Amino acid sequence: MNKKEYLPVLAGIVVAVVFGFSFMFTKEALGVVAPFHLLGLRFMVATTVLTILKLLGLIKINFKGKRLQVLLVLSLFQPVSYFIFETLGVKMTSSSQAGMMIALIPVVVAILGTIFLKEKPGKIQSVFIGLSVVGVVFIAIMTGNVDIGSSLAGIFVLLGAVISAGVFNILSRQSSLRFTPVEITFVMMWVGVVTFNTIAITQHLITGEITQYFSPLADPTVLTAILYLGILSSVIAFFMVNFMLSKIEASKSAVFSNLTTVVSIVAGVFIRNEPFYWFHVIGGMMILAGVWGTNYYGHKRASALIKEKYETLQS
């Protein structure tokens, strides 16, 4: 494996680990600060860091002659809709459950590819897509029967995050043809800071607590979470995501969400002592097996089609 091949893989591993722990930090901070307030402060830190890097000349950004509308549409899905669904979903469930749901992203990418890119999955691939869906439904049904401090509604909210991430994967892959990874990340962070701070400030004005907007930063738990989420999870991780998507196919890059799932479960169960039941194991195995099959047989089918086209051209 040469440098061009292993750098996107390394970026994917770093992203998976950072995102895996992000659910835990989000859950911890949500115990102190409201969802949109947390998102506003998170993206405020992210844009501050990016702007400083730009002013110091450490990153190069040039939008001259480029259609920013493309990135604005992309940003509606990630970070706006994704983080609304993810943050509310984590608040309603647990960090380990959120990680299991995020594992569905590769499946959603495959489904969206069928709808919008006319990339119809093979029969075996369709079976594995169905297996992942059954795994989610199984966890959802069992969650509704057990009092574990989460809700069935939270799982469906997390599905909104998964769909948003799937759309983002496809749009970012297309945007990488016109923009650099850092340019995509820069616009995403600014859309996030404007959107979420507008909502959070409005909420504080309504309740008459605007003077206390930055008071949560005095809490070590909130400050640690915001620095982690704002710098590592937003700036560094998203830069690596967009770099990875500029080098490899969206379906391949989505596989790293499997590692995110493992990290989030380990962090939730062993660090936050979140409950983990037998149906989580069974449902999680079904989801991961479905994700593996979706990608494995998707790659095999793609290789077969390429080989078939090549042989046709040679004949």
Distance CA 204, CA 199 (A): 9
Host domain of residue 154: 3-314
Using 50, 70 and 90 to split pLDDT, how confident is the model at 151?
Answer: low
DSSP, res 2: -
Distance CA 273, CA 193 (A): 32
Q: Number of structural domains, the chain? A: 1
pLDDT on residue 306: 39
DSSP, res 81: I
pTM value is 0.77
Using 50, 70 and 90 to split pLDDT, how confident is the model at 310?
Answer: very low
Give 201 or 135, the one with higher predicted confidence: 201
Q: What is the dihedral of CA 217, 239, 193, 157, to 10 degrees?
A: -90
74 phi, psi to nearest 5 deg = -55, -40
User: Is 284's pLDDT higher than 80?
Assistant: no
Mean pLDDT of the chain: 81
Which tens digit of pLDDT belongs to each residue from 260-270? Answer: 777 887 788 78
For residue 202, count other CB atoms closer than 10 A to its CB: 12
Which tens digit of pLDDT belongs to each residue from 211-260? Answer: 999 999 999 999 999 999 999 988 888 778 778 777 766 556 656 666 77
Using 50, 70 and 90 to split pLDDT, how confident is the model at 312?
Answer: very low
Distance CA 141, CA 156 (A): 12
Q: Which amino acid is at 20?
A: G
Q: Which amino acid is at 260?
A: T
Distance CA 167, CA 85 (A): 14
Q: How many CA atoms lie within 13 A of 78 on its CB side?
A: 20
Residue 159 to residues 5, 19, 90, 97, 225, Cα–Cα distance (Å)? 31, 17, 11, 11, 24
Share of the chain above pLDDT 90, in %: 30
Please, what is the end-to-end C-alpha distance for the chain in angstroms? 33
pLDDT on residue 3: 60
